Amino acid sequence: MSRTLPVNKNDYIDVVFKDLTHDGAGVAKVDGYPLFVAGGLPGEQAKVKVIKVNKSYGIGRLIEIQEKSPYRVDIPSNERTKYGGCQLEHISYEGQLKYKENQVRQVLTRIGKLEDVIVHPIIGMDNPWNYRNKAQVPVGVKDGRLIAGFFKPRSHEIVDTDESLIQLPEVNQAVQVVKEICNELEIPAYNEESHKGILRHIMARYGKQTGELMVVLITRTTDLPHRKELVDKVIERLPKVKSIVHNVNSKRTNVILGEKTTVLWGNEVIYDFIGDVKFAISALSFYQVNPVQTKVLYEKALEYANLTGDESVIDAYCGIGTISLFLAQKAKKVFGVEVVPEAIEDARRNAELNGMTNVEFAVGEAEVVIPRWYKEGNAADVLVVDPPRKGCDETLLKTITDMKPKKVVYVSCNPATLARDLRILEDGGYKTLEVQPVDMFPHTTHVECVAQLILKPD
């Protein structure tokens, strides 16, 4: 016998929100039936309209807030500043930190069954605005003019944006200046429906510690009209620019960057520091977008590794060597592995840039390379993982429990997969001592964590 749902599509109902989902929507329950409503906050009473019903949950639209949360804040009503992935901008920063810390605690208990792990108070930012050192902004046309901004939620409609409240001012300025120049030179914007036009995206990257700026123009065609004039105007109006790059993406795709990259002017890379470690950043490099909190995160990983100078360390998912080089400051030897060949090239260049000779990098999947190293007798005293959102591969987790390094430091961008993997490592002989949440992306739902594990004595 099928269950009769307590709500129907287009119903208007009064609810009380009890929680937030992982993507920041309010959760209310009607006779035990979950209703997810964007914009609702725990503790609030509200009128909502049911817009979708499934067997196990429904979706609602916020109509009226009858009793506000103390953490609710008014957000800018200017459409030109509000888009850009800030799912939590209607929550005070204090409330955001509380929500993220609670999320970490809940998943460790619910998914990881880790009741006695110390979860430290989340480390937030003194100033949670204007922190991103990179923007990649889609380009379109409106009323005959080239526009650049962000997509409206759940659409490909571009909102022309003067600034993003979470980008560094230098990044905002670079995007606006390039947009103005392209309008002056009448460079045609790309149209994704017709697959015609030229300019697809404007990218800007900025070294916060060095003050160096990179501008990247991403086009559909190898031809870039008015190339010399464009470059001359960018140099004139953006004095901090050190690199102007042209990237070609001729495919019908949502992927931003293409395979062909040419330096139009200046250097191939800009430089930045995290702590005392210097990094070369190309147009294609993966580099953390919040350098202030990256330093906090990596210093915590280094603290949890507790290196004396005699240890051999493996860094799985090493990227361009950011964590590897941090660890190499204190370790005897660091081995990094990463599946992207270009990232390993960057990692080797960054090691050379810092004069670090105790680091070795390999291209390949961590779950393939590390088991091979283990069979060859290259066991680690400390193993550090910083996987993508899907977490660690099962083969890698099995290798860790077989290899039995004394310590494991797990850097995570997804608390749910962190909790799942910690449970597997606990069942394989490890003890999770503590977890430190770090707010790398204020005003978004993302939260990073560092976990410290030690091998249980036999």
Catalytic residues: 413
Tokens of 106: 């809940």
Amino acid at 68: K
The DSSP H or E segment spanning 202 is: strand 199-206
The DSSP H or E segment spanning 352 is: helix 341-353
Q: Which of 251, 421, 403, 245 is nearest to 313 (CA)?
A: 403
21 CB burial (10 A radius; 0-12, 13-18, 19+): middle
Q: What is the DSSP string of 256-269?
A: ---SEEEEEEE-S-
- Non-local (6+) Cβ contacts of 119 within 8 A are 101, 104, 105, 108, 434, 435, 437
State how far Cα 366 lies from the chain centre: 20
User: CA separation (Å) from 377 to 52, 316, 380, 403, 406?
Assistant: 56, 17, 9, 10, 16
- Non-local (6+) Cβ contacts of 391 within 8 A are 412, 414, 417, 418, 420, 421
Q: What is the DSSP letter of 381?
A: S
Q: What is the dihedral of CA 389, 390, 392, 394, to 10 degrees?
A: 180
State how far Cα 39 lies from the chain centre: 22
Tokens of 328: 């190499």
- Non-local (6+) Cβ contacts of 95 within 8 A are 41, 69, 70, 71, 72
Q: What is the DSSP string of 164-185?
A: -TTB-HHHHHHHHHHHHHHHHT
Q: What is the DSSP string of 433-453?
A: EEEEEE-SSTTSS--EEEEEE
